Structure 1
Amino acid sequence: MIEINVSPPGLETAYQTLFTETALSFLTELFLEFETRINQLYYDRCLRKYELKKSKYLPQFSRTKQRRDRSWLVKPVPGRLADRRLDLGDVSPSDSTHFFDALNAEVQGIQVDFDDGHCPTWRNQITGLYNVYKVVHRKEDKILKSPKDLPILMLRPRAWNMIEHNIMINGKKVPGPLVDFAILMYHNGSRLYEENSGPCFYLSKLESATEAKLWNDIFIWTQNKLGIPQATIKACVLIENILASFEMEEILFELKDHSLGLNCGIWDYAASIIAKFGHRNDFILPDRNKYVNMQRHFLKKYMELVVQICHSRGAHATGGMAAQIVTGENPQKAIENVVAAKTLEIQTGVDGFMVYDIKLVPKINQLWRKMCNTRINQLDRIPTDVISEADLLRMPSGGVTKIGLKHNVEVSILFVYNWLCGNGHFINKNSIEDSATAEISRSQVWQWITHMARLEENSEIITFELIRELTQNYVNSAVNLDKKYVIASANIFLDIVSSSEPPDFITTYLNDHYVFRRIHGSLEISKYNHKL
């Protein structure tokens, strides 16, 4: 039996279109087929966390058969997917204006984001899923300026840490990624295949090759169920967890028929180091604004390893997203900064990356033409440097600045504030902030308190009382914001950074928080329909 929350006001048509009896039956079958293995995934994550906490264990590259065998390659991707040079990132489909604008940009793909840049309120989920449906099925005139080909929609479901509070199957809440994937595939999978536009996915926050195999088996089951040829679904795995970086070759192998390569993401990746090893004082990350960037040894080697492994296996390697917004007093400076950073990534050998601001697209396309001429990827470039476990685990030196500390406090509070308001990302100081920057911000604050780090300026110890003072100062100075939400957000932030066992993911904590759920309707009485 499936129980599903009623439609938010004004979304009845979208709700009825998406949650048909056959679609819900498909979701139910998918959940029941993989329920045991999904529960095992959660158990394995808890067990690994416990083992890392109780020991001095550090991850190592394994000597698996997949790694030793140099003969296997991923299955070649269809023609349109051979060019992965530029995607738009953090495009939440619940933001209809931004989503529809992105569809007409001169890019290779659009990251249709239900994860880092998206807040999964029930209203946002339905709006986002329905907007994808309307685009794929051409249900609204003038969305696409050139209606010949659908753009490549890189569908990014929620990660495994997120639960959908508005749907229950046999008395159990369903993982968010399964809901997103099932509804997207059921309504759009065949159409995307027929239009030579996918279906394509970004897979977030995987921690192991076992988790990649789970997704691969979900793909196989779904293709069989929907009558789509095997190997049609293609997926790019975001290597944004430190443990996954030691299993990249195995991850590619498990998804080799469905692989669209691997992707690098700086802030989720850095935050995962704190999540896994932050209790150890040899893994203290310094001020991220001053000392943490892709040129630091541990991140530089991480990207080089992604390129090396991907290209040796015939897979695309893509870089992270440029979060800068072309606005403010010096927009040209923002463009120059993005071009400089992306030039270094192209020189490393990546086959593509993302930007958020559509205004950056012409400059980045020009950069690709300048550096690679007519070549649509760099798969023939295979770095040969030997990269060790120690390379990936070498923390950068440096301290903490007062400015950096205040910035982390501000970003954390503003993210919680926007989440409570139903927004998954926001603009702050000419840059996009999303759950990735919130993760590293709150993680660093917790780590600095825990290890009594000191400020560079005056050697003051970073204490919880100092953080409370900075938090109160920010609350007092906040203008043009709803004060009661600012105060609630500040209190939630203080609760997180003072916890002896902080949550692995801020989004999990917020998604499950009663304040968020009361605001957005998943705790209201008499709101569920019984179906099937």
Structure 2
Amino acid sequence: MNAPAKNTDQPIPRHRVLAKVNAAAAETYSDILTPDALLFLADLERRFGPQRKILLQNRQLQQERYDDGEMPTQPLETKHMRNSAWEVAPCPPALQDRRVEITGPVDRKMMINALNSGAKMFMADFEDASSPTFDNMMSGQMNMRDYARGNLSLKTDKKSYTLGEETATMLVRPRGWHLEEKHITVDGKPMSASLCDFGLHFFHNGKLLAEQEKGPFYYLPKMESYQEARLWNDVFNFSQAVLDIPNGTIKATVLIETLPAAFQMEEILYVLRNHITGLNCGRWDYIFSYIKTLRNHSQFVLPDRAQVGMDRAFLSAYATRLVEVCHKRRAHAMGGMAAQIPVKNNPEANEAAFEKVRKDKKHEASIGHDGTWVAHPDLVPVAMDIFDDIMPGKHQIHKKRQSARVTDEAMIAPHTGKITEAGVRTNIEVGIRYIAAWLCGRGAVPIHNLMEDAATAEISRAQIWQWLHHGASVEMEGGFRETLSKRLYDRLFAEEVSGLQSELGETDFDKGRFPEAAELFNATASGDDLPEFLTIPAYEILEK
């Protein structure tokens, strides 16, 4: 097997084919899209792209089995992994204390603010918190390159932004296996967005970060099986060999944000055991995956999103099992996102939001999590105080705790609660608002005092689909109940769209891409079939 050329000034042999860039702004990012980097991308795609496509086909086959009545369960063929004695490789010093992590897009200003926030870690997100325009993705890579070289700064007309003496450790989240990068092709076909994001970051920064003992560290999203995790492990092994970095230098944290993956947590840790430091409760995408996986079965219909909390039913079971599995294998168990953001000019509402965060983080720390996520710098000290109080050490991996075994039945137990007209309307309105912002190039969007990302729109349209598909009974504002028929949905949808038009005005409504967002939401929420991901059809019209 030929290894790709290293980043030297040597000419590339003519028989080696580079990945091709199909974007008008390609020259702007010439420092990132170098011939050697494009050669590395091409090698990644040729070696690992075919297996990625097979695994995506396997997802569809497995979903058909769920649709036919099979329930998620722990695989029989991996019982030996669950029953044998093993641990993940030791965690490097830079990742040992992860009590508060802040997340955000790869925008330069937001990156600097997040790194300076006082959080222990910053997850720079190429995925759900970023709209994947070519400029967003490539400028994000430029920011990563500058960070690794100590040059990450920004000057505006009003202010200068520079990194402080103490900054958070950075982890990078590439896009998921299901996504493609249409602007970079290999052999005439779009390459994997996962391999593109990882490949460019690792090729340009992997060795530098390793020398500084600051990485390279990654968050891996949206996986549905241990086989998908094993593919990442193969990518890591190959990439470290190419750049002559010691095997095991790359460290990853896997987001458990799909229902199938929650039944394979030990297997995911096992196949990545030389490269993994922990698992994370990706709660919002997990709710979406729960709806999508169990979509054909009326007994799993969920109430309004606001009533689907982490303290009960399938979410509580999943968080508890994640802690048990991680600590059994000496890995970090990371808590989920607090989506609240500060409420300006309303002290009472602001305090109420902060109190929700305190309650959420106290619950996570008490059941054994070693750290948690926040979406805004002002919430870093709020979460930090809770974890400092309950978890005085760097983590609580070795702390013994007694808890009942989490059963597979508990892992799929649905929340009980009401489906209300207000809940239907909120899903429609928030879903459209988010999609419109995403189509305009923004992936992290404040809506109604919550920081929303792509999972918001996915939950919103999936809940509408689930309620329509199963004829859910809705508590209407007049106190009576009504089945959510297509006719009722169409009326509520039209009223919410009309309300947005009135609020924004016709010009801003059109310029803000709300017509396209409304059409896309409606198509993915009310059709006969539930599309696997909203972001796939949205990506097709993103830069039109």
For residues 66 and 505 of structure 1, what CA distance do their matches in structure 2 show?
34
Look up the match of 2:204.
187
Task: Give the aligned partner of residue 475 of structure 1.
Answer: 497
**Correspondence 1:450 to 2:474:** no
The reply on whether 1:358 has 2:370 as its aligned counterpart is: no
Q: Calculate the TM-score normalised by the size of structure 1.
A: 0.92
1:411 maps onto 2:439 in alignment: no
The Cα shift of 1:382 comes to 4.8
In 2, Cα distance between the equivalents of 1:421 and 1:115? 16
- Residue 378 of structure 1 pairs with residue 396 of structure 2: yes
Looking at structure 1, the residues matched to 289 and 110 of structure 2 have their Cα atoms a distance apart, in angstroms, of 29
SS of structure 1 residue aligned to 2:218? strand
Deviates more, 1:416-425 or 1:457-466: 457-466
Counterpart position of 2:41: 27
> 1:163 is matched with which residue?
180
CA contact (8 A) 2:445 2:453 kept: yes
- Give the CA deviation at 1:455: 1.1
Quickly say closer, same or farther: Cα 1:212–1:327, change in 2 above 3 A: same
- 8 Å CA contact 1:66, 1:250 repeated in 2: no
> 1:530 is matched with which residue?
none
SS in 2 for 1:448: helix
Correspondence for 2:539 among 493, 511, 514: 511
Tell me how far apart the structure 1 counterparts of residues 63 and 170 of structure 2 sit (CA, whole Å): 34
Counterpart AA for 2:542 = F
Task: State the alpha-carbon separation in 2 of the partners of residues 355 and 269 from structure 1.
Answer: 17
Q: Deviations over 1:402-436 (max 9, x none)?
A: 11111111111112111111111211111111111
Secondary structure, in 3 states, of the residue corresponding to 1:249? helix
Question: CA separation in 1, counterparts of 2:336 and 2:464?
Answer: 23
Residue 355 of structure 1 deviates from its aligned partner by 0.3
Cα distance in 1 for partners of 2:413, 2:438 equals: 33
Alignment-derived partner of residue 32 in structure 2: 18
Report the AA paired with residue 139 of structure 1: N
* 1:96 aligns to 2:108 (yes or no): yes
1:83-482 superposed matches below 5 A: 83-89=97-103, 91-93=104-106, 95-140=107-152, 144-147=162-165, 151-289=168-306, 291-328=307-344, 329=346, 330-373=349-392, 375-383=393-401, 384-456=403-475, 457-478=479-500, 479-480=503-504, 482=508
- Distance of 2:516 and 2:60 partners within structure 1: 29
Distance 1:232 1:7 in 2: 36
Give, in whole Å, the separation in 2 of the partners of 1:156 and 1:287. Answer: 29
Whether the 8 Å contact between 1:311 and 1:382 is mirrored in structure 2 is no
> CA contact under 8 A between 2:112 and 2:163: conserved in structure 1?
no
Q: In 1, are the aligned partners of 2:143 and 2:152 still within 8 Å (CA)?
A: no
What is the alpha-carbon distance in structure 2 between the residues aligned to residue 397 and residue 349 of structure 1?
Answer: 25
Shift of 1:462: 0.8
- 1:56 is aligned to 2:56: no
Alpha-carbon contact 2:89-2:277 (below 8 Å) kept = no
1:201, distance to aligned residue in structure 2 (A) = 0.5
Pairwise CA RMSD of aligned residues? 1.6
Amino acid at match of 2:377: I
CA-to-partner distance for each residue in 1:298-329, whole Å, 9 max, x for gaps? Answer: 11111000000000000000011111011231
Structure 1 residue aligned with 2:13: none
Identity %: 35
Paired residues in the alignment total 507
Q: Unpaired segments of 5 or more residues in structure 1?
A: 519-532
Deviation, 1:282, is: 1.4
| Amino acid of the structure 2 residue aligned with 1:307 | V
Give per-residue Cα distances to partners, 1:135-190, cap 9 Å, x unaligned.
1112345754435x764211000001111110110011101111000000000111
8 Å CA contact retained: 2:126, 2:175: yes
Superposed CA offset, 1:39-78 (max 9, x none): 211221121122222x211122234244343410000111
**Map of 2:517 onto structure 1:** 489
Contact 2:49/2:192, CA 8 A, preserved across alignment: no
Letter in 1 for 2:271: E
In the TM superposition, residue 474 of structure 1 has moved relative to its aligned partner by 2.1
Moved more, 133-142 or 185-194: 133-142
Mapped to 1, the partners of 2:197 and 2:283 lie a distance apart of 25
**How far apart are the structure 1 equivalents of 2:428 and 2:99?**
34
- 2:3 paired residue number: none
In 2: Cα distance, 1:361 partner to 1:121 partner: 29
- DSSP 3-state at the match of 2:504: coil
- Residue aligned with 2:341, SS: coil
SS at match of 1:71: coil
- Secondary structure of the residue that 1:455 maps to in structure 2? strand
Give the letter aligned to residue 481 of structure 2: S
Gaps of 5+ in 2: 1-16, 154-159
| 1:73-96 residue CA offsets vs partner (Å, 9 max, x unmatched) | 00011112111111102x111x22
Letter in structure 1 aligned against 2:164:
S
Please give the secondary structure, in 2, of the residue aligned with 1:295.
coil
Counterpart Cα distance in 1 of 2:146 and 2:489? 46
Distance 1:19 1:333 in 2: 47
After superposition, give the CA deviation of every residue in 1:211-243 in whole Å (9 maximum; x if it has no partner). Answer: 110001100000001111110101111111101
Amino acid at match of 2:341: I
Name the aligned partner's letter for residue 43 of structure 2.
Answer: E
Contact map agreement 2:130 2:444 (CA 8 A) in 1: yes
State the Cα distance separating 1:3 from its structure 2 match.
2.2
Is this contact kept in 2: 1:439–1:506, CA < 8 A?
A: yes
The whole-number CA distance in structure 2 between the counterparts of 1:226 and 1:97 is: 30
- Corresponding residue SS for 2:278: strand
Per the alignment, residue 502 of structure 1 pairs with 530
Counterpart AA for 1:403: A
